[in-house]
Chains A and B, each alone.
Chain A
Amino acid sequence: MTRMLYYGGMTNTAFHPPYRRRFWMWMGTYVVVLFAGTALVGKPPRPDAAHLAAAIVPLVPLFFALNETFRAVRAMDELQRRINVEALLLSLLGTIAIVLGVGLMQFIAGIPLFGVFWLWLPICGLYAIGVFLGQRRYS
């Protein structure tokens, strides 16, 4: 029954429901810990122990969320894994192109750089586009 739930047609998504549920639970914890930490230490940013802890402690639930991603990928069948690997390749190459483009805009045109923090946006966005395109190609 469990196998049917996973593979028998109830879902064709990259993340099977149990992994997806746990992933979002850890991501929710990450957001709560992040906001609680930053609210506790307050502004302005300072390189002291409390501020560093507020920045680093949220990485613990984030690590568990990423671990769920690995578990989900390992549980996928070979086609789903291929779709995800191709999406990751699009994400990696696309992000490299964006970083190079933005870097050159800074060096050549003097346009201010985006912070490294915002890199998650093209990485996750391009990955999502890659999965969407892959699902369409093989359906």
Chain B
Amino acid sequence: MKNSLRVLRAEREWSQADLAEHLSVSRQTINALEVGKYDPSLALAFKIARMFERSIHDIFTDEENPRA
């Protein structure tokens, strides 16, 4: 699963640590999400979407079905 987390974070000029603090997760989790090593749970994906005021589809893309 691809995501635009790094871009959205850069738009707000946040460090990984800043975003980690806002989401109450570790910085390692943010890094793993950004480099695509870890796919978030639905709960965390919704939390990220709420934070950036976007829909989940705007942030996360299914690589096997990009139009979904």
B55 within 8 A of A: no
Q: Is the CB of B24 within 8 A of A77?
A: yes
Q: Is the CB of B32 within 8 A of A12?
A: no
- How many angstroms between the C-alpha atoms of A7 and B28 in the bound complex? 9
Which secondary structure dominates chain B's binding surface? helix
When each residue 28-55 of chain B gets 1 if its CB lies under 8 Å from chain A and 0 otherwise, what string results?
1101100001101100100000000000
Task: For the complex, count residues of A whose C-beta is within 8 A of B.
Answer: 16
Q: Which of A18-26, A35-43, A87-95, A131-139 contacts B (4 or more CB under 8 A)?
A: A131-139
Q: Is the CB of B32 within 8 A of A139?
A: yes
Q: Which of B1-9, B13-21, B57-65 contacts A (4 or more CB under 8 A)?
A: B13-21
Q: Is the CB of B32 within 8 A of A138?
A: yes
A1-34 residues with Cβ-Cβ distance < 8 A to B are 3-4, 7-9, 11-12
CB distance from A113 to the nearest CB of B (A): 41
